[in-house]
A = this chain, B = another copy of it.
Amino acid sequence: MNAVTPADVSTEVRDMALSARVAARKLVASASDARNQALYAAAAFLDERREVLREANAMDMRRASEADLDSALLDRLELTDDRIDAMLEGLRQVAGLPDPVGEIRDMRARPSGIRVGKMRVPLGVIGIIYESRPNVTADAASLCIKSGNAAILRGGSEALHSNAVIAAAMSDGLLSAGLDAASVQLVQTRDRAAVGALLGLEGLIDVVIPRGGKSLVERISKEARVPVIKHLDGVCHVYVDATADAEMALAIAINAKTHRYGTCNTMETLLVHQNEAASLLPRLAEAYASASVELRGCERTLALLPDATAASEDDWVTEYLGPILSIRVVDDIDAAMEHIARYGSGHTEAIVTSDYLRSQRFLREVDSASVMVNASTRFADGFEYGLGAEIGISTDKLHARGPVGLEGLTSEKFVVLGEGQIRR
């Protein structure tokens, strides 16, 4: 085989985008039923080809171990039977969700006689750039198809064989439902130039959604000439107010930190009202100690928890993604919201309170994608929110904030119905 030059890669990716645009126009004209049928059929094809998929995955796993990739990556890469079942179930669940496309809202007659409203439409062609999990291929493709978008997928090169089998099943599902197989395409070259090529296709690709670690997302945002829906940090806060129910505060603060450490909606900083600190923090520290969570606190925290270490300015902006928690004692809700505005990442924040007015202030004034009263930050999730599925979580402020489901893969255009009206 000859080495692939960047020029070839960029032509290849561009050709894929051109086919995707044609496919997207057909998807817009397709019936809901056909798109659902494509997803059910893809699940059936994958089920039939389970052995082929297992073999492809074994090949990826072998190659990855030989390349000495770390064990966390190997774990994400592996497709067990359970994971394949979950992937098939995911395809069928997405097929069963309500179709977001075509909904018309706010149709109103205007003085000129025209009627004006907004119609929900697909975005067009969506690029998804992700890392080692092969099940993302099915998840992302199914959400795109369901919402009438064509998808160009660029998975981790370590998962290439697995991804190819899944993408082929998606395309075969599309064909069997009378849709264009190019509605789902996988970039199969291992050449990293493919990502750069994808990010430069202004006018051909409508949005790119990176799914992966912060460095991947930052690199893509920096380089992209096309719009990006992105997720950066999740430095999430729980603020325990003066009037909080102590048992509730304990349960939420423990759950938000210890339910899972590696997730973006995990609490990284706990803010405690000065009146509650003396009674709450020692009890909390005990619970955290039994879960081996390291505590880093402000001076007032350290006075109450001598085993904690001093938090540095860096701690307030760090997404630990591990068993570490920073704690600050604050004067009041204003100081708590000031801390969140200054150090937070706009992902998810919760207040624990029994005061009505302060609950409303927190909801209104905290500028984060998800704002909660008396609930664990761990609920910030597409499934928990009832979106059916999520393609990612956005920390952007335009278009879609928080968990992005089918609606986030669409936008609204204006529709005007007239009977011959002209502008006077």
Contacts and interface: CB of A to CB of B under 8 A. Distances in A.
Interface of A: 25, 28-29, 102, 108, 110, 112, 114, 116, 119, 121, 123-124, 206-207, 227, 229, 245, 247-248, 251-252, 254-256, 259, 341, 350, 361, 363-365, 367-376, 378-380, 384-386, 396-399, 401-403, 411-423
Contact of A28 (B255, B364, B401): B364
Q: Is the interface of A mostly helix, strand, loop or mixed?
A: mixed
Given A363-B415, A365-B25, A413-B369, A374 B420 contact: yes
Contact of A376 (B367, B376, B423): B423
Given A399-B411, A401-B411, A371 B416 contact: yes
Contact of A112 (B227, B247, B379): B379
A298 B257 CA distance: 67
Given A378-B422, A420-B251, A422-B376, A369 B29 contact: no
Contacts of A227: 396-398
Contacts of A116: 384-386
Nearest to A369: B413
Contact of A370 (B29, B248, B396, B414): B414
A348 to B, nearest CB: 8
B412 A401 contact: yes
Nearest to A337: B25
Nearest to A417: B373
Nearest to A252: B422
Contacts of A112: 379, 384
A6 B252 CA distance: 49
A256 B252 CA distance: 60
Counting chain B CB atoms within 10 Å of each CB, the highest count among A102, A386, A423 belongs to: A423
Given A25-B365, A108-B386, A411-B401, A375 B416 contact: yes
A407 B412 CA distance: 12
A372 B418 contact: yes
A413 B421 contact: no
A254 B418 CA distance: 16
5 contacts: A207-B397, A247-B420, A259-B422, A372-B416, A375-B420
A374 to B, nearest CB: 4
A114 B401 contact: no
| In the complex, the 6 A-B pairs of residues with the closest C-beta atoms, listed nearest first | A375-B418, A255-B422, A378-B423, A248-B420, A372-B416, A399-B399
A423 B402 CA distance: 18
A235 B364 CA distance: 41
A114 B417 CA distance: 40
Contacts of A361: 29
A367 B398 contact: no
Given A29-B361, A255-B422, A370-B414, A114 B384 contact: yes
A263 to B, nearest CB: 10
A353 B245 CA distance: 65
A397 B259 contact: no
A256 B423 CA distance: 8
Contacts of A384: 110, 112, 114, 116, 423
Nearest to A372: B416
A421 B28 contact: no
Given A254-B422, A375-B421, 10 more contacts: A29-B365, A110-B384, A116-B384, A119-B363, A229-B398, A369-B413, A374-B421, A375-B422, A384-B423, A402-B413
A368 B413 contact: yes
